[in-house]
Amino acid sequence: MVKLRESGEMYLETIKILSNKSDKVRSIDIAEYMEFSKPSVSRAVSILKDDGYIIVDNNGYITLTEKGEEIATDIYEKHVVLTKLLVKLGVDPEIADQDACKIEHDISDETFEVLKKLYKKLESE
């Protein structure tokens, strides 16, 4: 399987976040959330659709496919856990969120699992 680019992962994560808030996600919602231009989002949505990560219905509503959901869930979990871990370690929450966003796309599954265990251990103390 070809690794999805970081930008694609960010779009899938955004669709996941917006889907958690509302059943109906449109390109305009993604553009507003990510603060990207409508043409940029339209192009990305087209690519994600062609690659089978999302479905766009006749009304323009976007849903994740099974493979899109899997990637989005993975990236979102990494973002949440890394942000919480960094905050727990004393990093300012805004900086922790920004850094987690950068790390989540490159961290190996093995390293993430170790950090997740560390976070759970710190939470129980």
1 in any annotated domain = no
Among residues 96, 87, 7, 4, the alpha carbon closest in space to that of 44 is found at: 7
What is the model's pLDDT at position 2?
47
Give percent of the chain with pLDDT exceeding 90.
89
Task: Give the Cα separation of 57 and 81 in Å (integer).
Answer: 32
Say which CATH number the domain at 103 has.
Answer: 1.10.60.10
In this structure, the chain runs to a length of 125
The model's pTM:
0.88
Give the amino acid at 122: L
> End of a domain among 70, 85, 105?
70
Give percent of the chain with pLDDT exceeding 70.
98
Task: Encode pLDDT of 46-89 as tens digits.
Answer: 999 999 999 999 999 999 999 999 999 999 999 999 999 999 99
The residue range of the domain holding 118 is: 73-124
22 and 44 in one domain? Answer: yes
Say which CATH number the domain at 20 has.
Answer: 1.10.10.10
96 in any annotated domain = yes
